[in-house]
Homo-oligomer: A and B are copies of this chain.
């Protein structure tokens, strides 16, 4: 029986441990092999080494661990989620998309290399993610992720986001964008951890409800930080949403209302996840972290 972390310190230490597990695996994910062109290898390394919170694979590992399994069993499929997240950021930063110059305090990939390499490195991460997922030998996991990042999920959100730029949008539209663009992958991260852990339908639905709420809250806080955050801490240009006339929650419902809505979503998420018992402590901690984060 695994001792589930409860206090803030225990949670923080445990998340650090899982983060190291993810970082250590990611270092090995692109083998030194003559068959991989050096530019492709180094472009992928550049993107993966830039860091980030590793939120998605950590959620996968935690969901799996809540069934009293050892998280290192599923490090490969868990890291697939980080590869997908990284690919989506690379394509999102392209000049034809958000045209961002900085990401995590470094020049974006297309600024460091060029647009062609950025398109291809993103595509390569996308493909490699499915190789890692296939290692779990569970077809439902492959299906879950491909749907979450496809025309019914992440890509639907991306296209709606591109089309919303510069237009007046409704609260319904911004919710559609954020739920799909950001929420779907976060929800899937939790669900595949739970599926691999052996979840029955009701437990799966608990993770799904929790994931939808923290995913939406995460993106709302992202919008808020683009206005109120510190460029140094965020490692990217702030105010870029506003300059690009991006669809954001603060633009649609204002800053205070956005913060209040995120708080409401996190409260609901914590209530939902409490159903899983003692293992829920760290999921509540993550909810609070999403609300309080400044980077």
The chain A residues found within 8 Å of chain B, CB to CB, are 30, 33, 35-37, 39-41, 44, 91, 94, 96-97, 114-117, 119-120, 122-124, 126-131, 133-135, 137-140, 142-143, 145-147, 149-152, 154-156, 158-160, 162-163
Contact = CB atoms under 8 A, between A and B. Distances in A.
Given A127-B146, A150-B127, A162 B120 contact: yes
B159 A120 contact: yes
Given A116-B96, A120-B162, A127-B146, A152 B33 contact: yes
Contact of A128 (B116, B146, B160): B146
B119 A151 contact: no
A177 to B, nearest CB: 10
A143 B131 contact: yes
Contacts of A119: 91, 94, 96-97, 119
Nearest to A152: B35
Given A91-B119, A134-B146, 15 more contacts: A30-B151, A36-B151, A37-B160, A39-B159, A40-B151, A91-B123, A97-B119, A119-B119, A122-B123, A123-B155, A126-B126, A127-B146, A127-B155, A128-B150, A139-B139
Given A134-B142, A134-B143, A37 B128 contact: no
Main secondary structure of the interface of A (DSSP, over half): helix
A124 B126 CA distance: 11
Contacts of A128: 146, 150-151
A91 to B, nearest CB: 6
Nearest to A115: B96
Given A116-B162, A119-B96, A155-B124, A139 B150 contact: no
22 contacts: A33-B152, A35-B152, A36-B151, A37-B159, A44-B151, A96-B116, A96-B119, A117-B162, A123-B158, A124-B151, A124-B155, A127-B154, A128-B150, A130-B142, A131-B142, A131-B143, A131-B147, A134-B139, A134-B146, A135-B143, A139-B139, A142-B142
A41 B151 contact: yes
A156 B123 contact: no
B163 A39 contact: yes
B97 A116 contact: yes
A123 B146 CA distance: 11
A88 to B, nearest CB: 8
A159 B40 contact: yes
Contacts of A41: 151
